[in-house]
């Protein structure tokens, strides 16, 4: 009887741990649940922290691309990251006549691979502390490990930190970052 009760508790504990683990697998982003069975755009539109990014993706005409099969890794800057750009930058980029420049900036946040943070960390370690990340937009980001955090240095020397990693999508993964990555002028 005692063994049976112990097994029942253990099984219940395992089920509870599995539920917690499943819930923790995809963190909330911008207060919204992120679903592995939805694509990057379907999830991003629900994040209150990524309204500027979503507007920029729409203005650049990249919605259908990021809804596509992938796989994609998107380093997703928050609204605060866009707000930290010099005054007027976002408004200027969103103008129709600047679509090419906006597209370049946005595609410098996208990698044509499904790169989870552990894989990125391994590449950094294997490359002696810094790994070149080639983006869809032709930018080369420098990935480094700072403690448990991954940082990305853009082509202008700006450094973004991954603040929420490994947000799985049906067509890739999102890593939330705290700075907009910029290409060389």
pLDDT over 90 at 23, yes or no = no
pLDDT band at 53 (very low <50, low <70, confident <90, very high): very high
8: preceding bond cis by omega (within 30 degrees)? no
12: tokens are 């219940």
pTM: 0.84
166-183 tens-digit pLDDT: 999 999 999 999 999 999
Give the three-state DSSP class for 70: coil
CB 71 within 8 A of CB 96: no
Tally of CB atoms within 10 A around 56: 22
The span from the CA of 71 to the CA of 179, in Å, is: 23
CA distance 3 to 140: 59
Residues whose CB falls within 8 Å of the CB of residue 112, separated by 6 or more in sequence, listed in order: 70, 71, 72, 136
pLDDT beyond 60 at 68: yes
The per-residue pLDDT for range 70-113, each reduced to its tens digit, is 999 999 999 999 999 999 999 999 999 999 999 999 999 999 99
Q: In this model, does residue 57 exceed pLDDT 50? A: yes
pLDDT digits (tens, 9 = 90+) for 111-152: 999 999 999 999 999 999 999 999 999 999 999 999 999 999
Collapsed DSSP state (helix, strand, coil) of residue 160: strand
- CA dihedral 167→110→158→52, nearest 10 degrees, is -70
Closest CA to 160 of 139, 172, 170, 168: 139
Extract the tokens encoding 137: 């937009």
Query: Does the pLDDT of residue 3 top 60, yes or no?
Result: no
**pLDDT class of 47 with cuts at 50, 70, 90:** very high
Per-domain residue ranges of the chain: 28-177
Q: Mean pLDDT in the chain?
A: 87
Q: What number is the average pLDDT over the span 42-60? A: 94
Tell me how far apart the alpha carbons of residues 28 and 52 are, in angstroms, rounded to a whole number: 18
Model pLDDT, residue 5: 39
CATH class of the structural domain 28-177: mainly beta
């Amino acid at each position: 009887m005692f063994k049976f009760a112990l097994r029942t508790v253990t099984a219940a504990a395992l089920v509870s741990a599995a539920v917690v683990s499943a819930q923790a697998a995809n963190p909330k982003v911008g207060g919204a649940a992120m679903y592995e069975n939805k694509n990057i755009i379907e999830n991003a539109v629900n994040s209150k922290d990524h309204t500027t990014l979503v507007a920029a993706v729409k203005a650049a005409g990249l919605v259908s691309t990021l809804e596509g099969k992938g796989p994609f890794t998107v380093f997703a800057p928050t609204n605060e990251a866009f707000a930290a750009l010099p005054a007027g930058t976002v408004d200027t980029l969103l103008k129709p006549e600047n679509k090419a420049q906006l597209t370049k900036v946005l595609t410098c946040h996208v990698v044509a691979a499904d790169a989870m943070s552990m894989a990125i960390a391994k590449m950094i370690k294997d490359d002696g502390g810094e790994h070149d990340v080639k983006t869809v937009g032709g930018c080369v980001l420098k990935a480094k490990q700072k403690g448990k955090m991954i940082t990305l240095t853009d082509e202008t020397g700006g450094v973004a930190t991954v603040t929420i990693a490994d947000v799985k999508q049906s067509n890739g993964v999102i890593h939330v970052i705290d700075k907009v990555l910029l290409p060389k002028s």
